[in-house]
Amino acid sequence: MSAIAWSWQWPGIDVHLSVSQAVADVLDQYRQLTWRTERGGQLFVDLTNPEGLIMSLATLPHARDRAGWTWLELDAERCRQEIESANAQGLRLVGYWHTHPQTIPAISPTDIASFSRFAARYAQELPHPIAVIVGLSPTPNGIKAWLFRDGNCVEATLTN
């Protein structure tokens, strides 16, 4: 049985996405401290878990990623290697996460453009990517998720 930290749901979509405690721990560990650059990684789900749809892997930031205080570019080769490794374990890519220097994260136009490029790059494998942004606050609204679907960016709500 997987330890679940919380679950998300999107309006109009009858799916709950649970977040494993292991993923929650990674996200919490890499909050963006004062004047540090953004960090991030990829997100994977286990589609075969009998407990439901669970985000079970968040990859760690990588030294080859390029970043500034308000931007991040994941290294393409590391992403490819992580996808191959995760697929071999039965996991599937659902999106990526990154940090923001905000208490409560909000998706920005830069984020929307970046996630749109990410979605286009992985359109075959990932028709509706998930963007997770980690803010500074350790409260439940300090980590938020958005789903890109039909040209819209829809914010998730916590279900527990």
pLDDT in the model for residue 12: 82
Instruction: Point out the least confidently predicted range of 4-8, 77-81, 123-127, 133-137.
Output: 123-127
pTM of the model: 0.92
Residue 1 has pLDDT above 70, yes or no: no
- Cβ neighbours of residue 47 under 8 Å, at least 6 residues apart? 53, 90, 92
Residue 83 has pLDDT above 80, yes or no: yes
Residue 150 has pLDDT above 70, yes or no: yes
Residue 48 has pLDDT above 90, yes or no: no
Rg (C-alpha) for the chain, rounded Å, is: 14
Question: What single letter denotes the amino acid at residue 57?
Answer: L
On average, the pLDDT of the chain sits at 89
- Cβ neighbours of residue 125 under 8 Å, at least 6 residues apart? 83, 92, 93
Residue 119's CATH number: 3.40.140.10
Q: Looking at per-residue confidence, does 7 or 33 come out higher?
A: 7
* For range 144-160, the mean pLDDT: 86
* For range 20-42, the mean pLDDT: 91
Instruction: Say how far apart CA 114 and CA 112 lie, in whole Å.
Output: 5
Number of domains in the chain: 1
Question: For 91-128, what is each residue's pLDDT tens digit?
Answer: 999 999 999 989 999 998 888 888 777 777 777 777 78
Question: What single letter denotes the amino acid at residue 102?
Answer: Q
* Residue span of the structural domain in which 91 resides: 4-158
Residue 49 has pLDDT above 90, yes or no: no
**In terms of Cα–Cα distance, which of 76, 154, 71 is closest to 113?**
71
Distances (CA, A) of 58 to 5, 34, 36, 136, 137: 14, 23, 20, 18, 19
Instruction: List, as one string, the DSSP characters of 60-98.
Output: PP-TT-EEETTEEE--HHHHHHHHHHHHHTTEEEEEEEE
Residue 25 has pLDDT above 90, yes or no: yes
Query: Is the C-alpha dihedral spanning 123, 124, 127, 131 positive or negative?
Result: negative
